[in-house]
Structure 1
């Protein structure tokens, strides 16, 4: 499920056609900031370790397409 969520975020990033490294870094910061972490954690009811995996998968997928 976590992998699916990360894939969806990456898919949306591709749709916006912002494939520059700086935009990808922005997305990573946005989805990994403390405020966003808490929201993701509450929304998907994730444990801290699951959230860490989510961030790791998200980073990997974002850098795969750049």
Structure 2
């Protein structure tokens, strides 16, 4: 993804979350019923990090090997 340097990570994430939420609501209308109390599908939090130029295959393998919550 190429993003202009003037776009802050928080604005980028908010935009991506908003677009994906609208698409999910359109494609899966039943989601709204399950999340009606909060009126939103996602939390306000996010994580942004860098990988120092590691190849995508190395990053993917690292993520896949992480422990999942029980």
TM-score bracket relative to the smaller structure: 0.3 to 0.5
Q: Which has the higher contact order (CA 8 A, sep 6+)?
A: 1
When normalised by structure 1's length, the TM-score is 0.34
